[in-house]
């Protein structure tokens, strides 16, 4: 439907506001004339002016309004008897987490249309936040990738343009099957980066991000994973296979990034057990490598088996006691207190292969060992 300029929002600038303050506020901007377009049957995309213009709402027989803005709609709109509303507080910034809201917004739109209602999705200008939500709905409704869904919406409303951060999150939403998949590695990294931004600002991990810190696999006994990483010295379980954040090596010469740890590993040489029994550990290492290759390269594992093994990036885990109160530091085994690696919420860690990870929680491969839940095999070798 073509854009229909019916009315213009009135200015609400306070009369007593100094004219030379040099600070722009929301009241300094006008939402413009009414702008509303029908993107799909019963689904409308528009601006704030359309959502607050009662004549427009009645004209288009709007029954549901989905608002994505920094402030909610005026009270007289929210209290209108013929309207059902949903409000998402979000700014139009690339680092805003719109992904966490997409599934709920899509469900709201779907439920409204299933009731034969008409839905208006809007933000301030109807360009980025609201269009991102409508694109998410179109991806799920019509089983489309991001670009075809974007082009479909743009054909109906020519000036839609999600910001770059929202585009990345929409692509991730599609990759996860248009729902939140907490086991998706890219989603885990997305959440970690958001948590890192909060740590940069507050220097402490907010409670809303405590879920990014995974339970200690040595304590959690319900449905234990068969493949784990243990401390090489005391054999305490440190991480499960699902905690590992895999990465592929960059196509360039390796770069040294943790020389101190490598020197320590080289100086250590063989452990006392290896010196006493050179054949047993060699067989165990071969078994562990077979387990590693078969598990990480299995069809159920995300991606391809061509992963880098130089650094073991993992999710933050609850035994890493210092991570919630410090932006960076070292990781020590909670049992024998051997240094295992490092972490940083705010700085990038570069693997020797050239790949970087931010935030980064990594274990030094020489300090841990891969283990399968076949303890008898390891004991008798």
Locus of tokens 């049957």: 41
Q: 80: which 2 tokens? A: 């209108």
Side-chain half-sphere of 62: how many Cα atoms within 13 Å? 31
**Is 123 one of the catalytic residues?**
yes
**C-alpha span between 15 and 174 (Å, rounded):** 47
Q: Provide φ and ψ at 370, rounded to 5°.
A: -80, 135
DSSP code string of 249-310:
PPSS----S-HHHHHHHHHH-S-HHHHH-SHHHHHHHHHHHHHHHHHHTSTTSSS-S----S
86 in Cβ contact with 108 (< 8 Å): yes
Q: 123: which 2 tokens? A: 């933000």
138 in Cβ contact with 146 (< 8 Å): no
Q: Which residues are catalytic?
A: 123
């Amino acid at each position: 439907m073509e854009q229909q300029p019916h009315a213009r929002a009135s200015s609400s600038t306070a009369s007593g506001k100094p004219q030379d303050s040099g600070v722009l506020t929301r009241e300094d901007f006008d939402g413009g004339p009414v702008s509303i377009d029908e993107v799909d049957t019963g689904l409308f995309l528009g601006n704030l002016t359309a959502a607050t213009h009662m004549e427009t709402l009645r004209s288009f027989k709007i029954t549901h309004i989905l608002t994505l803005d920094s402030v909610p709609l005026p009270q007289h709109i929210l209290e209108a008897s013929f309207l059902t509303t949903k409000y998402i507080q979000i700014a139009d910034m690339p680092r805003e987490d719109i992904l966490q809201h997409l599934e709920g917004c899509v469900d709201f739109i779907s439920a409204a249309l299933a009731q034969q209602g008409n839905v208006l999705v809007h933000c301030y200008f109807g360009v980025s936040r609201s269009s991102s939500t409508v694109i998410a709905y179109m991806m799920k409704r019509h089983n489309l990738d991001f670009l075809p869904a974007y082009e479909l919406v743009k054909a109906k409303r020519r000036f839609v343009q999600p910001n770059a951060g929202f585009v990345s999150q929409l692509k991730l939403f599609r990759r996860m099957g248009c729902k939140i998949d907490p086991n998706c590695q890219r989603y885990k990294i997305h959440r970690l980066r958001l948590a890192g931004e909060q740590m940069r600002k507050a220097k402490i991990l907010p409670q809303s991000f405590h879920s990014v810190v995974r339970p200690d696999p040595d304590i959690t006994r319900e449905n234990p994973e068969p493949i784990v990483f243990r401390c090489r010295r005391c054999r305490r379980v440190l991480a499960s296979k699902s905690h590992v954040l895999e990465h592929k090596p960059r196509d360039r010469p390796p770069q040294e990034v943790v020389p101190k740890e490598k020197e320590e590993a080289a100086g250590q040489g063989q452990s006392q057990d290896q010196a006493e029994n050179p054949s047993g550990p060699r067989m165990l290492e071969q078994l562990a490598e077979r387990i590693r290759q078969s598990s990480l390269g299995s069809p159920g594992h995300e991606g391809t088996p061509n992963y880098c093994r130089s650094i073991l990036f993992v999710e933050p885990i609850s035994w890493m006691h210092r991570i919630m109160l410090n932006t960076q530091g070292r990781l020590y085994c909670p049992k024998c207190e051997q240094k295992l690696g490092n972490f940083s919420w705010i700085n990038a860690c570069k693997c020797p292969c050239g790949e970087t990870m931010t935030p980064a929680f990594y274990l030094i491969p020489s300090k841990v060992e891969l283990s399968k839940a076949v303890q008898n095999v390891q004991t008798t070798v």
